Chains A and B, each alone.
Chain A
Amino acid sequence: MEIIRVENLNYYYQDGETIRTILKDLTVSFEKGKFYTILGPSGCGKTTFLSLLAALDEPKSGTIYYNDKDIKAIGYEKYRRNMISIIFQSYNLVPYMTAVENVMIPMAITENEIPKNSKEVAYNLLDYIGLTKSKANRVVNKLSGGEQQRVAIARSLASNVDIIFADEPTGNLDQELENEIIGVFKDLAHHHNKCVIMVTHSKEIADMSDVSYQLRKGVLSHNE
């Protein structure tokens, strides 16, 4: 079931009179229940594409539809608040808060229905991604990189959205942790009917996804 569709998406950087095309007429759609990867070398525009899908930036032309509604019409802020969540390579957690407090942040921001016992829900989410309660109560900068990334994944699940974007989330982790996290993404897609779209430069990770796209010279193509 298609949840997000991109039509004729264009993006470029302008430096004086020089125009550097990043994305050229991209048209693609994503479905719920699948784990997608977007593969490409550094600087090919993967992160830019993800930032456009996540409404952190605005395309120069083209349209992104969420459930057939233009996300611009929905409102970028509202779209980020209620329809998607993002996992960053560098975790981006609030450093002076505990893991559970970090997970609770989007629960207060989203307008989606969240159970009243939000703290319990946060603990459960952390437990689901493999963080014990004692670690959940630690200030996040006292946790390891892998644990911090787990907190970031739990946080992305807290607002109960259908789409999860991940920007090279395993870039700073070792192989074992990488495999664990990819396992979580697959589980989220296959057992929780989420649409997980992950940007990576790793062919191995791309091979583990349900659908993999290759971004090269601004053009998106199926990765065979």
Chain B
Amino acid sequence: MNFMKRAFLSLIRRKGKSLILLVIIFILSNVMAGSIAIGQASRNVEKTMKQQLGANATVEMDWEKMQNWTEEQWQNIQYVTPSMADQIGALPYVKYYDYNSEAYINSTTLKMYDPNMMDQQYNYFPLRGVNYAPVLDIANGTADLVEGRVFSDEDIAKANYVVLISDKLAEQNNLFVGDIVMLNNEIRIWDQATNQESVFATRDIALEIIGIFSPKVNTNQEENGGWIDYTPFNRMYVPNGVVHAENRWMTEQYMIAYPDSGITPDQLERVYINPVFVLNNPEEVESFRTEAMTYLPDYYKVNVSSDAYDSVAGPIKFIGSLSNTILYVAIGATILILSLVVILFLRDRKHELGIYLSLGESKSKVMAQILIEVVAIAVLGITLSLFTGNSIAEATSQSMMDLRAGIEGDGPDGPIYRDSMIYNPGGITEEDVMEAYSIEFSWDYVLILYGVGVGTVLLSSIAPMIYILRLKPKKIMM
């Protein structure tokens, strides 16, 4: 009749006490299981969505840091140069990178794609300069190449006048791979004497279509809140050199048109770029952010695509944080309640413990017997709560989301990054995040629940063990 057999006999012969302990542990385990399942689900959403978003980083000015700038500081502002982008692009975290310059060029022959737009006088097409020949948007899956090819390294290096246009734009204007697109880079000035706008200078740009792409844009008006951005359909991808040349020509013409404008010749060489870095591993984002900042003036900041998740994950983060709080409270309550209940039960069994001690049993074995009894009941309670806790988590998740919706609706502070220019290639929305949220019965959940549950029960046993250590057999037995 060693201490393990004694523990077993105690469990099966003292059914009432065992059942009471089981019910208490089962109830508390359910709270822990529910919190863990909810916490797991919110972490899984974050992981899945961040993986879906990939690890794309952009650089932009941190306007908050520039709020109190002097005029001199504004005059000496430094823009991100291609060489800075190249230095950051050479960091080991970067898989590939691109930097884009933009120009808006009119066309008198092409019609923009927008099913809701009437014919208009001007059609300014966004030209996106590309340095990364496979085109970043196609490489990261926000657009598909449906015909033709992407740029060659030679196209980029020599700034060949070649272009990729969208399938919708091509269809609307009856254009095919190999056709020439004609744009008109023109400078319009306002004549104050006649109070009329006139064309000061114009030059034709002929771009050969080498590829047709299809942007992945949700055109369901209802899902987009009644507004659809058709820019991706009208965007034209060209080598950066083409954009630089056209921007330079425009600046030259402005210098001529407005000699007193203060535009200096060095501004002709100024290139405005938006770099995008695709990282090898989403988990290296913070290291990349830190190292990239060493190449940038301190008034810049690095935005990462996974930040987009943070901007729309308010309800999930709320649920995750609430579930964590509930878990900590449940652990605390379990330790307190279980400690008290086990001590109460031990007081009932004081004579029994005294018998073992008077027979020369070591206190460690007496403690082991009690620990085995408590842990055995705990394992049973936790096992039962694995299933019920999961169901509770499912049932309570919706209530918690509704609660969050209520708080968001009433309070002044919504998600803080909602209006920020975060690079969000997948265009994920709060709805996407909510849809990705699901309570799962996974091995992780099982292991964490057993770990946390048994750990909590062991912590709850500290006070009862101290009680045993303080027992004096003479006082009990004689």
A contact set with B: CB distance below 8 Å: 47, 50-51, 54, 56-57, 77-82, 85-86, 88, 92-97, 101, 104-110, 139, 159, 167
Contact = CB atoms under 8 A, between A and B. Distances in A.
Interface string B351-380: 110111011111000000000000000000
Interface residues of B, number: 23
A78 B474 CA distance: 16
A173 to B, nearest CB: 18
Contacts of B354: 92
A105 B358 contact: no
A14 B361 CA distance: 29
B1 A167 contact: no
24 contacts: A47-B478, A56-B478, A78-B360, A80-B358, A81-B359, A81-B361, A82-B360, A88-B478, A94-B352, A94-B355, A96-B10, A96-B13, A96-B14, A97-B13, A101-B9, A105-B1, A105-B6, A105-B356, A107-B1, A108-B2, A109-B359, A109-B360, A110-B360, A139-B13
Contact of A159 (B9, B351, B359): B359
Interface string B1-18: 111011001100110000
A119 B358 CA distance: 22
B468 to A, nearest CB: 14
B474 A51 contact: yes
A88 B361 CA distance: 17
B393 to A, nearest CB: 38
B1 A51 contact: no
The 10 residue pairs across chains A and B that have the minimum distance between CB atoms:
A81-B360, A80-B360, A56-B474, A96-B13, A104-B1, A108-B2, A57-B474, A108-B1, A51-B474, A105-B1
Interface in B331-358: 351-352, 354-356, 358
Task: Name the residue among A97, A104, A105, A167 with the largest chain B CB count within 10 angstroms.
Answer: A105
Interface in B1-53: 1-3, 5-6, 9-10, 13-14
A51 B478 contact: yes
Given A95-B352, A97-B13, A106 B359 contact: yes
B478 A109 contact: no
B257 to A, nearest CB: 103
A105 B13 contact: no
A80 B352 contact: no
Contact of B9 (A47, A57, A96, A110): A96
Given A56-B473, A81-B359, 19 more contacts: A50-B478, A51-B478, A56-B474, A57-B474, A77-B360, A77-B362, A79-B360, A82-B360, A88-B477, A92-B354, A92-B355, A97-B9, A101-B9, A104-B1, A105-B1, A107-B1, A108-B1, A109-B356, A109-B361
Nearest to A152: B355
Task: Name the residue among B6, B352, B355, B362 with the largest chain A CB count within 10 angstroms.
Answer: B355
